[in-house]
């Protein structure tokens, strides 16, 4: 009979070996929700930095996590789950939410796309906002949504202070907003700003990234 290729089998072995450590399993559990910097992981886990570095290197080596530089502060990095990291593995328990608020700086692209995609897969209400809203939604966001059959709400970008609620489950989708509002409740997705390049490819990449994350998060949240 056909069996799993040796390379794929060894990759699975490496993942299971990495996750056999309770601390690494907890890190992966946290990363199933959003991206975290080493400083944020250290605060969450109460772990010395040298020990955390050891665990993060092990997760990278097993193909479970990747890191990239912050767009806001280049001295800072974020860890996220690697693509396909949890195939065949079940993440930990989810969280309750009465409403999801997607937040970026200008509320003109990433947060708008995230809210539109969320409405397609979850019955939990959602809204989007910005820390410094633009005057209108980016044409690139409108175009990429249209090409993928997603309807953006006909609303102008909104300010967090005007629409946010104390019980919102907040998902920051840009590094600037996350780092500006350090300590904000919720999770973070470190998604590159498509407006930096303002190309069709940049918006397609952002849309794909957000779409995958929305589909992964939706089953993890329950209505509260």
Task: Spell out the domain ranges in the chain.
Answer: 6-81, 95-223
- Above 90 in pLDDT, residue 57? yes
Instruction: Write out the DSSP string of 134-165.
Output: -SS--HHHHHHHHHTT-PPPS----BHHHH--
Fold of 6-81: Arc Repressor Mutant, subunit A (1.10.10)
Q: How far apart are CA 204 and CA 149, in angstroms?
A: 13
- Tens digits of residue pLDDT in 133-148: 999 999 999 999 999 9
**Maximum C-alpha span of the chain:** 62
Please give the pLDDT value at position 2: 41
Whole-model pTM: value is 0.80
Query: pLDDT higher for 1 or 127?
Result: 127
Q: Does domain 95-223 have CATH number 3.40.50.2300?
A: yes
What lies within 8 Å, CB to CB, of 170 at 6+ separation is 100, 101, 103, 164, 184, 185, 186, 187
Same fold, 6-81 and 95-223: no
- Above 70 in pLDDT, residue 58? yes
- Above 80 in pLDDT, residue 101? yes
- Above 70 in pLDDT, residue 88? no
- Tens digits of residue pLDDT in 157-198: 999 999 999 999 999 999 999 999 987 788 999 999 999 999
Q: Lowest mean pLDDT of 89-98, 101-110, 190-199, name the range.
A: 89-98
- Above 50 in pLDDT, residue 3? no
Query: pLDDT higher for 109 or 155?
Result: 109
Please give the pLDDT value at position 9: 80
């Amino acid at each position: 009979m056909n069996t799993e290729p040796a390379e794929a089998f060894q990759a699975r072995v490496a993942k299971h070996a990495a996750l056999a450590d309770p601390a690494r399993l907890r890190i992966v559990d946290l990363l199933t929700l959003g991206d975290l910097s080493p400083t944020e992981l250290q605060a969450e886990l109460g772990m010395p930095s040298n020990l955390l570095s050891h665990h993060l290197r092990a997760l990278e080596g097993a193909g479970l996590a990747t890191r990239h530089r912050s767009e806001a502060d280049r001295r800072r990095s974020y860890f996220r789950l690697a693509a396909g990291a949890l195939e065949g593995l079940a993440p930990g328990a989810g969280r309750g939410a009465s409403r999801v608020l997607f937040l970026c700086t200008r509320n003109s692209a990433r947060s708008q796309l995230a809210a539109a995609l969320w409405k397609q897969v979850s019955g939990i209400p959602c809204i989007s906002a910005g820390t410094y809203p633009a005057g209108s939604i980016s044409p690139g966001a409108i175009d990429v949504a249209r090409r993928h059959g997603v309807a953006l709400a006909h609303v102008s970008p909104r300010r967090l202070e005007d629409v946010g609620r104390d019980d919102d489950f907040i998902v920051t989708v840009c590094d600037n907003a996350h780092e500006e509002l350090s300590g904000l409740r919720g999770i973070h997705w470190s998604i590159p700003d498509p407006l930096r390049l303002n190309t069709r490819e940049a918006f397609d990449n952002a849309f794909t990234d957000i779409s995958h994350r929305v589909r992964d998060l939706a089953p993890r949240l329950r209505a509260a």
